[in-house]
Structure 1
Amino acid sequence: MKITYSSDTINSFGGINFADKIIREASIYDTIDQTLGIRGVKAQYSYSDLFRSYLMLVLCGGECAED
């Protein structure tokens, strides 16, 4: 991964993909799914998907799930 410096406006979204990649490579999402198991038959998302969604929300500066 190449990191460059810029004088452009800085926002909270700059490193979100980097943070997600680090968490994925550390097998955090796999650990969540293994620990909590599989959700119900009609559930469209896994526990790790839900965790990832809320984590990305917080890292992007969101305050509630509706953001």
Structure 2
Amino acid sequence: MADDSAFYRTYLKEELQRRKERNSRYSLRAFAKTLSIDNGQLSKIISGKALLSVDLADNISKKLKLTRGSL
């Protein structure tokens, strides 16, 4: 069975990279602030050291204006 968490980690990494490409000064800290989560927590989620809860996934999806189930 594939690692289901890989999809949302990849999505968040790619979204951060897209934002950095538009603004070279954009940082993980700024992205975390946009998502209303702690930057350390976001770093752990992206690196695979922490899991994304259902509630947090819903909140992030809303902040990124994604449809339910996208993350």
TM-score computed with the length of structure 1 as normaliser: 0.31
- Computing the radius of gyration from Cα coordinates, the structure with the larger value is 1
Higher helix share: 2
